A and B are shown apart, each in its own frame.
Chain A
Amino acid sequence: MSRVVMDIDNLHARIGGKEILKGLNLQLEEGKVHAIMGPNGAGKSTLSKAITGHYDIEVLDGEIRYKGQNIVDWEPEDRALEGIFLSFQNPVEVPGVNNAYFLRTAVNAKRKHQGLPELNAAEFLREMKKLVQELGMKPEMISRSLNEGFSGGEKKRNEILQMMMLQPDVIILDEIDSGLDIDALRAVSEGINKMKDGKRSFLVITHYSRILDYIEPDYIHVLKDGKIIKTAGPELVAELEEKGYGAIEEA
């Protein structure tokens, strides 16, 4: 077993008075791809929100230990600066905030946190343009308002662009495949696969196995009723496809 980079222990969390996560345990290993699968309402997105410090979430009990520290009370920006990245299921539109300006501010905040010099506009744009091309995005996306008027596929590509620019350590992909056509799915998957370096960990949250044909998982975790009820290797995907979530019982 590789080194554990994130250890979620007995996590209880609620949204608006309703307890969603009910004692969830999960360990993310360094350099591995973990896929979380589960039926609607199981708590998959709530888990991603709890890890990133979303304002909707109230953690009632348990710990999220990341790089040796319990981050449950950390601000969202502190979690991000320490290397946690969430690719949102529905990225919010921010009219008036230029995409390039937003991303440069984020990249430079991280560089400052790491004690590195900030990138100037030209250095940043050169890097951003290269990745925009790799991801098959339209060049004008750089200067448009953040996610405003983007199609579903464009929004997801923009999430991957941010991920590639920010070089995080733990990447949570919340239904990254939803709303993507085959070409977009392939471009997004290639971007994700390029980020695999044996150190970086991935948490892929999905309903369907389609994305897992492109991003090969090391572990499959089944999340049901706020708990991980089964963890196994990639072979579990075929079983889930065949029998559905209903047939999986708590181990």
Chain B
Amino acid sequence: MRPVLLGSMSPESLMEELQAAPSRALAARRLSELGMPTRKSEAYRYFEIDPLMDHDWERVEISATSEIEETQRRIVITDGVVTALPADVEVQVGCSDAIDLDGAHFDPLYYLGHLMSREVISLRFRKDARVTIVHRCTQPAKLLAYRTAIYVDANVHVQISERYEGENACGALILSGHDAFVSRDATLTLVKDQTLRIGDYTPIFSHRIKVDSQASCRLHSFDFGAGSGLQLIKAELHEHARIDADHLLYAKDHARRGTVSQIVHIGQSSVSNQRAKNILVEKARGIFDALIKVEHSGKETKAHQNSKAILLNDGAYMASKPQLEIYIDDLEASHGSTTGQLDEAQLFYLRSRGIAKDEARKMLILAFANELIDALEDDALREDLHRSFEEAYWGTTNVTCMETCHGCEDLAAETAAK
């Protein structure tokens, strides 16, 4: 299957070609309208999408759900199929008509993912929970598409941490993503560690997040990966809803990775705060193409967006495009973007105290990343991410409390005093 050929098809042909379920008619219509992404598409301008769309892919056939292992707090999805699950999370797997597709998503691959996903994994949280989702891909050089729907019921508070493994999936293209629905007064904290622990494939995550009245979503994405990868996020905020989105990217070699997002303020008094930090080495390219849109109905909203990038080599490149599209006067909004090198004054200050140049650089890079890692409330996740970043940056980790924790000094001193 060559995705590029789908671009010129009618909705009916798309449905037939992809053997999509009738409930995916909207996806077919939208994909037909948008066409397949090319390097000229705004969302994929800085990402080399053409070779991926032009490639003749063998599709991974999603097998029927087999035996599901029972775990503690861990959901494992292997090649698009749930293989492990905690007992207290309700999961429905199937092609549900109940999924409320976003009819105005900017990403054609959001719709392609839905058309190709015969089964949507639906996770419904009826009570407070903390779970980890592990995504495993084992099929090399194939195209795998699967979608997850997350429902957080009213007044429920859920933390989901996600990580990705690509066992033997080198050269694969993964079209994946969530449709997340955060109900009234609920909270969804989504911590995505997109660094591939094992293997190498190209992920394109296309998310849709709907945050209902007075609900909030905290999205923390961490990507310390090599190769190509992109996350595309469309979020809609209703009355008094809030989203805090942090994206930390460390990319090296010839990596092309980043975030393309649209946050739409629909309801009044909604709040969005988006921060991106990018550390780019060698010939890596970072992408932060983010739009915050405030609709006529979004009175008294607060919308803030900021991107900072450090380029550690001459060949590194940051494509940063923060944008605001505002249709009302009564709001508070800001956006900004900076790209530069390490601060010479800071570097000199550390060196003037006897700290070697390489060590001083390391401290400053860690400090730059720390702001977003330290924003995590979960201690264990925070430590994991610190370790993950150190491993990505210089191969080993020697994270200690003194380096990363801002509150453990007393404990260390007390222990010594005893």
A interface residues (Cβ-Cβ under 8 A, vs B) = 52-55, 75-77, 79-81, 86, 88, 91-92, 94-98, 100-106, 109-110, 113, 120-123, 125-126, 129, 142-145, 162, 166
In the complex, chain B residues whose CB is within 8 Å of the CB of A145: 367
Whether the pair A92, B345 counts as a contact (CB closer than 8 A) is yes
Interface SS of chain B: helix
A75-B403 contact given A96-B370, A125-B413, CB 8 Å threshold: no
Give Cα A12 to B407, complex, Å: 47
Is B401 an interface residue, CB under 8 A from the partner?
A: yes
Whether the pair B363, A122 counts as a contact (CB closer than 8 A) is no
Is B415 an interface residue, CB under 8 A from the partner?
A: yes
B342-359 residues with Cβ-Cβ distance < 8 A to A are 343-346, 348-357, 359
In the complex, chain A residues whose CB is within 8 Å of the CB of B401: 121
Contact of A88 among B349, B354, B402 (CB under 8 A): B349
Is B18 an interface residue, CB under 8 A from the partner?
A: no
Contact of B346 among A94, A105, A110 (CB under 8 A): A94
- 30 sample A-B contacts, Cβ–Cβ < 8 Å, listed by A number: A77-B351, A77-B353, A77-B354, A77-B356, A77-B360, A79-B352, A91-B349, A92-B345, A94-B349, A95-B367, A95-B371, A96-B370, A96-B371, A97-B367, A98-B406, A100-B402, A101-B403, A102-B350, A102-B355, A103-B353, A104-B402, A105-B355, A106-B354, A109-B356, A121-B416, A125-B416, A126-B413, A142-B409, A143-B407, A162-B353
Whether the pair A96, B367 counts as a contact (CB closer than 8 A) is yes
Give Cα A95 to B357, complex, Å: 18
Give Cα A54 to B351, complex, Å: 10
Give Cα A80 to B352, complex, Å: 6
In the complex, chain B residues whose CB is within 8 Å of the CB of A129: 413
A102-B413 contact given A80-B352, A162-B353, CB 8 Å threshold: no
A-contact bits for B386-413, CB 8 A (1 contact / 0 none):
0000000000000011110011010011
Within the complex, what minimum Cβ distance (angstroms) separates B80 from chain A? 39
Within the complex, what minimum Cβ distance (angstroms) separates B256 from chain A? 27
Within the complex, what minimum Cβ distance (angstroms) separates B238 from chain A? 34
Within the complex, what minimum Cβ distance (angstroms) separates B278 from chain A? 15
Could you list 13 further interchain pairs (A-B, Cβ under 8 angstroms) beyond the known A98-B406, A113-B354, A122-B413?
Answer: A53-B352, A77-B353, A77-B354, A80-B351, A94-B364, A96-B371, A97-B367, A101-B402, A104-B402, A109-B355, A121-B412, A129-B413, A143-B406
